[in-house]
Amino acid sequence: MGKRPHRRKHIPQRTCVACRTVRPKRELVRIVRLSSPGAEGTVVVDETGKRSGRGAYLCRQRTCWETALARGQLERALKVTLTAETKALLREYAAGLPKLLTTDSEEDKAAAKGASGGASGNE
């Protein structure tokens, strides 16, 4: 009904399933349960944020990943039981993240430290 211009840049926000912090989507890592035939039910880290399937988001800090795995928050969010293999994969990914993100400026350090690739979305 409203005709007001809706031009403000919309920044999508997502909630970390572990600590419940709401952040801009690109500051979080998407984990997705794939829905593509053949890979159905496979849980992967989705760096692009574009893979189809049910997604959940976690902060770029190891603490959240460990919490989510320990408390089954990721399984609940994705409605899937994670295999030992998948958990190992997620832990491996988390190992490349800083233990704790305190401020946004920490992001730079994290990117520099975890230069193992993939940190392309930093503008």
- Choosing from 29, 32, 59, 74, the residue that interacts with Zn ion (CB under 5 A) is 59
What is the end-to-end Cα distance of the chain in Å, rounded?
Answer: 36
Least CB distance from residue 58 to Zn ion, whole Å? Answer: 6
Whose Cβ is closer to Zn ion: residue 22's or residue 115's? 22
Using the rule CB under 5 A, is 18 a contact of Zn ion?
A: yes
57 touches 30 (CB < 8 A): yes
Segment near Zn ion (CB under 5 A), from 5-13, 36-44, 53-61, 93-101?
Answer: 53-61
Two tokens, residue 48: 């692009």
Least CB distance from residue 54 to Zn ion, whole Å? Answer: 18
Binding mask 94-113 for Zn ion (x = CB under 5 A): --------------------
31 touches 74 (CB < 8 A): yes
80 DSSP assignment: S
Least CB distance from residue 81 to Zn ion, whole Å? Answer: 22
Least CB distance from residue 15 to Zn ion, whole Å? Answer: 9
> Which single residue brings its beta carbon nearest to Zn ion?
16
- CA dist 60 → 14, 37, 67, 81 (Å): 13, 29, 13, 22
16 touches 23 (CB < 8 A): yes
Which residues make up the interface to Zn ion (CB under 5 A)? 16, 18-19, 59, 64
